[in-house]
Amino acid sequence: MFVKRLQLSQFRNYSSLDIEPIDGVNILVGENAQGKSALIEAIYLLATSRSFRASDESEMVRHQSPEEKLPALISAEIYRVKQNEAQIDINLHETEKKSVRVNGVKKTRIVDMLGNLNVVLFCAIDLGIVSADPSVRRRYLNIELSQISPKYIIDSSSYKKALEQRNRLLKELRERPHTDIGVLEAWDAQIVQFGAPIMEKRKFFVENLSPIANEIHGELTGGKESLEIRYQPNVSNGGNGFQADFEAAIQKVRYEERRRGVTLVGPQRDDMQFLINGLDARSFASQGQQRTVVLSLKLAEFRLMEEYVGEPPVILLDDVFSDLDDYRRGQLISRVFGKGQTFITCTELHAFGDKTLESAAIYRIRSGTYTRENVSV
């Protein structure tokens, strides 16, 4: 699959843009704050319906004078080997919810727009995934699973709502301890109903990812290191699925939850662990080893996504290429380039080898505009 054409209007610092990227390596080069990441963000949004950096969607609508106030438009033609071409159009408004059309048909539910474009994003925040807060690793699981499982998205959003309600109720119960707790039990059932399948999916995903990452990691380290990725559910799994264990875990913390006024168990407290030769990479691995873990993880994800989808996903590399050393860069290039469409942002071209530059399309990005460059090597 590849993005055949991308059009933007009033998106971030782009007042308008029309670009036809190649089905190969697309290099977005430019100084800081010119709009390179904004382009990656737009493609990512088409695939996932979310931004990987904005918490508030309205942030992406271009700042305009109060009289203008046009919505942001993101449109793309997606070529797919396994399906017909798809046209995706997203409108972002500052005050209303976004609207999405696929082939001209309005999609009211997010899940219905997904699956037309798949991406693997590798951005600066991923470089720290091994040692960052657990929330970064949960975010990673959410992003990956949302792309491959529509049910995961539905469960996650239902879980989030149920959790908010349950927390509100726990807070009330803390203030008024004699209130009937029957209502709380209803919310227990809700968080188990939506939370258990979230944990099942996370477990399944990590268990599939781990052997592939191990194989790649072995190759990257010349057979010196093994890599194991472990899902660490907050609720222990006795082997019969998460439902019964989640219910039991809630019972156990019942008193403590009422005392503290907040939900203490569930997938909102999950984590993931990376083990190099059996040791926790978070505390033992050097910076370089951690970077190799990330690279193995991302390459494994690419392969897994290709398996799920049946064709290579689009690869988005934002601000990571120049942070990798020659060896890791070389590995990345040889493993993904030539397989799928790739977008790479960078501030200088010298990180690329002559062969890559010759076959790539190079776009110079300058304050929300681009020019195609030819580099004679």
The contact set with ligand ATP (CB under 6 A) reads: 12-13, 30, 32-38, 59-63, 319, 345, 347
Q: Which is nearer to ligand ATP, 70 or 264 (CB)?
A: 70
Which ranges in the chain belong to alpha helices (H)? 36-48, 110-113, 124-127, 134-148, 150-175, 182-220, 242-260, 281-284, 287-309, 326-336, 354-359
**Count of positions on this chain that bind Mg ion (CB under 5 A):** 1
Residue 270 site contact among ligand ATP, Mg ion, none (CB < 5 to 8 Å, cut-off depends on kind)? none
Q: Which is nearer to ligand ATP, 12 or 98 (CB)?
A: 12
Which of these, 366, 309, 363, lies nearest to 340 by C-alpha position?
309
End-to-end, the C-alpha distance of the chain in Å comes to 29
Please report how close the Cβ of residue 14 comes to ligand ATP at its closest, in angstroms. Answer: 8
Which of these, 68, 122, 179, lies nearest to 320 by C-alpha position?
122
Side-chain-side CA neighbours of 289 within 13 Å: the count stands at 18
Residue 202 site contact among Mg ion, ligand ATP, none (CB < 5 to 8 Å, cut-off depends on kind)? none
- What are 161's strand-pairing partners? none
Residue 15 site contact among Mg ion, ligand ATP, none (CB < 5 to 8 Å, cut-off depends on kind)? none
Tell whether residue 37 is a contact of Mg ion (CB under 5 A).
yes
Region label for 356, one of left (φ > 0), alpha (ψ between -120 and 50) or beta (otherwise): alpha
Q: Which is nearer to Mg ion, 35 or 197 (CB)?
A: 35
Please report how close the Cβ of residue 338 comes to ligand ATP at its closest, in angstroms. Answer: 25
Interacting span for Mg ion (CB under 5 A) from 36-44, 246-254, 289-297, 360-368: 36-44
Residue 284 to residues 52, 124, 183, 214, 279: CA-CA distances in angstroms?
A: 29, 21, 46, 17, 7
Please report how close the Cβ of residue 142 comes to ligand ATP at its closest, in angstroms. Answer: 22
Please report how close the Cβ of residue 48 comes to ligand ATP at its closest, in angstroms. Answer: 18
Q: Which is nearer to Mg ion, 37 or 156 (CB)?
A: 37
Q: Which is nearer to ligand ATP, 32 or 374 (CB)?
A: 32
Residue 308 to residues 100, 180, 283, 303: CA-CA distances in angstroms?
A: 24, 47, 33, 9
Please report how close the Cβ of residue 124 comes to Mg ion at its closest, in angstroms. Answer: 8
Q: Which is nearer to ligand ATP, 193 or 369 (CB)?
A: 369
Amino acid at 14: Y
Please report how close the Cβ of residue 28 comes to ligand ATP at its closest, in angstroms. Answer: 8
Q: What are the φ and ψ backbone dihedral angles of 66, each rounded to 5 degrees?
A: -55, -30
Please report how close the Cβ of residue 12 comes to ligand ATP at its closest, in angstroms. Answer: 4
Interacting span for Mg ion (CB under 5 A) from 35-43, 105-113, 129-137, 248-256: 35-43
Q: Which residues bind Mg ion (CB under 5 A)?
A: 37
